[in-house]
Amino acid sequence: MKFNKYLEINSEVKEAINNKQAVVALESTIISHGMPYPQNIETAFEVENIVRKNGAVPATIAIIKGKIKIGCTKYEIEYLGKQGLNIAKVSRRDLPIILAQGKDGATTVATTMIAAALAGIEVLATGGIGGVHRGAETTMDISADLEELSMTSLLVVCAGAKSILDLPLTLEYLETKGVPVIGYGVDELPAFYSRKSGYKIDMQIDKVEEIAKIWQAKLDCGLKGAIVVGNPIPEKYSMDIDYINENIDLALTKAKEKGIKGKNVTPFLLDEIQKLTGGKSLASNIQIIYNNAKVTALIAKAMERK
CA atoms of 32 and 90, how far apart (whole Å): 11
Report which secondary-structure segment, H or E, holds 41.
helix 39-53
CA atoms of 171 and 58, how far apart (whole Å): 29
Catalytic: which of 14, 69, 89, 162? 162
Cβ-count burial of 272 within 10 angstroms (0-12 exposed, 13-18 middle, 19+ buried)? buried
Catalytic: which of 27, 48, 76, 188? 27
Contacts of 153 by beta carbon, 8 Å cutoff, 6+ apart:
117, 122, 218, 219, 224, 225, 226
Q: What is the DSSP letter of 28?
A: S
Report the Cα 13 to chain-centroid distance in Å: 19
Q: State the CB neighbour count (10 A cutoff) for residue 186.
A: 20
> Is 27 annotated in the active site?
yes
Contacts of 23 by beta carbon, 8 Å cutoff, 6+ apart:
13, 16, 17, 56, 57, 58, 59, 121, 122, 123, 300
> Is 42 annotated in the active site?
no
Residues with a catalytic annotation lie at: 27, 162
